[in-house]
């Protein structure tokens, strides 16, 4: 079967057979969205290296923000090719993978996971699931699969294929029906970036982790999303972590000043651009999926130029525009307490009151 990945596909449901897995792999390779069971909850999977596919995933979930996603991998060796494991991370991976534990660690240089999947962060959340169907799919696909819980934004996480269909029928390409998820709670998330910190309680009890560590886990800030209730304004202080460029952003720019870089959207490019330090267009054809896929990497590229500001053309609120504008507004918010000496990308440290 060919997979014609379209904006709003008709959703196929398949019980798990070798043929269904082969179909799922073909669909993922074509940039499709495949819901599959893990031992915690059903995930909505797509190729972690394909920014456009990830933009479709956010669109299908109806997320008003781009929260970073968990990259699912087949084994610890694959995880270590994407993230940097210190001694603690290595011990936790050894003790609990495969299983309901997600480790947030620094990204490896050259990590091929799309910037949109990690929301522009320099860290990555990695998990090796224990469910046979998830494992077989990851083995057959051969690369990392990002998978948030397979529900519409604001709804509870699904533990059966029927729950997935109730939320996402007509918005995703395929559901692999592998029966109910047995844990029924999302994975426990531990950040191993300095002191090991519990970011989200979940299917692996804290006491089990502390037994392996030999000491209590630090408590992190509330994660970006404890459930899937991302609705409502999120103050920057509520975020576990988020990407913020160092160069000031000037939103809704209709002209470009000398020494500014321009983050364009659509056509025509505003006057003054001939003086711009550099111009990157999120999507000359005003395609929201393309714009979302380019957002974080273009911001990073323009941020590196030392321009006086990044002028950002207006971006409509339609579709993923809401999430794009949400991220741009956070990036543009003043950060009066940030000093140039502070690391630019780090997890929120609750002891550091000034960190946003
Ligand atoms: O059990 C699970 O973890 C399920 C199954 C499908 O694997 N997945 C899941 O994904 O719950 P999602 O997207 O619903 O939740 C991912 C959580 C979010 O709270 C997000 O903020 C956090 O992981 N996260 C992702 N990357 C992160 C990072 N680099 N640092 C800190 N938190 C991160
Ligand atoms: Mg979720």
Query: Which of 218, 207, 174, 221 lies closest to 95 in space, CA to CA?
Result: 207
Return d(Cα 221, Cα 148) in angstroms, integer: 20
pLDDT at position 354 is: 28
- Pick the atom of ligand 1 nearest to 69's CA: 25
* 92 vs 4 pLDDT, higher one: 92
Q: Is the pLDDT of residue 338 over 50?
A: no
Give the residue whose CA is nearest to atom 24 of ligand 1: 68
Distance (Å, whole) CA 119 – CA 70: 11
Please count the other Cβ atoms lying within 10 Å of the Cβ belonging to residue 300: 15
Ligand 1 atom with minimal separation from the 102 CA = 3
Q: Answer left, alpha or beta for residue 118, where phi above 0 means left and psi between -120 and 50 means alpha.
A: alpha
Say how many CA atoms lie within 13 Å of 315 toward its Cβ.
31
Query: Shortest CA distance to 10 belongs to which of 175, 159, 151, 161?
Result: 175
pLDDT digits 0-9 by tens, 318-335: 999 998 998 899 888 876
Interval 225-245: pLDDT, tens:
433 444 333 333 334 446 778
Read off the pLDDT of each residue in 348-354 and give the average, rounded to a whole number: 33
Across the range 301-306, mean pLDDT stands at 94
Token pair of 47 as six digits: 């190729």
Residue with tokens 């073909």: 26
Residue 346 in this model has a pLDDT that exceeds 60: no
C-alpha angle 313/299/86, rounded to 5°? Answer: 160
For residue 329, give the nearest of 234, 240, 238, 257 by alpha carbon.
Answer: 234
- Give the rounded percent of residues in the chain with a pLDDT score beyond 90: 72
pTM of the model: 0.85
pLDDT one-digit tens code per residue, 62-119: 988 888 999 999 999 999 999 999 999 999 999 999 999 999 999 999 999 999 999 9
- Assigned token pair, 310: 């990044």
More confident residue, 220 or 23: 23
- 245-288 tens-digit pLDDT: 899 999 999 999 999 999 999 999 988 888 899 999 999 999 99
% of residues, the chain, pLDDT over 70:
86
**How many other C-beta atoms lie within 10 A of the C-beta of residue 226?**
12
Q: Please tell me the distance from the alpha carbon of residue 151 to that of residue 87, in angstroms, as a whole number.
A: 35
* Cα distance from N-terminal residue to C-terminal residue, the chain: 47
Q: Which of 138, 189, 198, 200 to mutate to test the pocket of ligand 1 (most atoms within 8 A of CB)?
A: 189
Ligand 1 residue neighbourhood (C-beta within 6 Å): 38, 40-41, 43, 67-70, 102, 104, 118, 121, 123-125, 127, 147-149, 186-187, 189, 199-200, 223-225, 240-241
Q: CA distances (Å), 137 to each of 40, 47, 68, in order? A: 16, 12, 22
Average confidence (pLDDT) over 189-216 = 94
For residue 6, pLDDT beyond 80? no
What does DSSP assign to residue 141?
H
């Amino acid at each position: 079967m060919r997979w014609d990945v379209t904006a709003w596909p008709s959703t196929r449901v398949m019980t798990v057979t070798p043929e269904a897995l082969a179909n799922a792999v073909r669909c993922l390779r074509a940039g499709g969205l495949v819901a599959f069971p893990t031992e915690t909850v059903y995930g909505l999977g797509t190729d972690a290296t394909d920014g456009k596919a990830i933009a479709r995933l956010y669109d299908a979930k109806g997320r008003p923000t781009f929260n970073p996603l968990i990259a699912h991998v087949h084994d610890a060796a694959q995880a270590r090719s994407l993230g940097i494991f210190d001694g603690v991370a290595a011990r936790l991976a050894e003790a609990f993978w495969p299983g309901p534990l997600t480790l947030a660690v620094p990204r490896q240089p050259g990590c091929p996971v799309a910037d949109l999947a990690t929301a522009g962060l320099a860290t990555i959340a990695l998990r090796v699931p224990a469910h046979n169907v998830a494992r077989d799919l990851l083995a057959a696909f051969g690369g990392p699969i990002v998978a948030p819980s397979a529900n519409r934004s604001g709804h509870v996480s699904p533990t059966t294929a029927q729950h997935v269909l109730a939320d996402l029928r007509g918005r995703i390409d395929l559901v692999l029906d592998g029966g109910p998820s047995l844990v029924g709670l999302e994975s426990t998330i531990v950040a191993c970036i300095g002191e090991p910190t519990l970011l989200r309680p979940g299917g692996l009890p804290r006491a089990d982790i502390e037994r392996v560590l030999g000491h209590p886990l630090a408590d992190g800030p509330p994660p970006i999303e404890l459930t899937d209730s991302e609705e409502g304004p999120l103050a920057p202080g509520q975020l576990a972590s988020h990407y913020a460029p160092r160069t000031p952003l000037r939103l809704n720019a209709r002209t470009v000043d000398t020494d500014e870089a321009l983050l364009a959207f659509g056509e025509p490019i505003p006057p003054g651009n001939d003086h711009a330090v550099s111009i990157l267009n999120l999507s000359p054809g005003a395609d929201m999926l393309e714009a979302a896929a380019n957002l974080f990497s273009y911001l990073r590229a323009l941020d590196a130029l030392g321009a006086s500001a990044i002028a950002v053309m207006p971006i409509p609120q339609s579709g993923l525009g809401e999430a794009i504008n949400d991220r741009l507004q956070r990036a543009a918010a003043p950060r009066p307490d940030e000093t140039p000496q502070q690391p630019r990308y780090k997890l929120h440290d609750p002891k550091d009151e000034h960190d946003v």
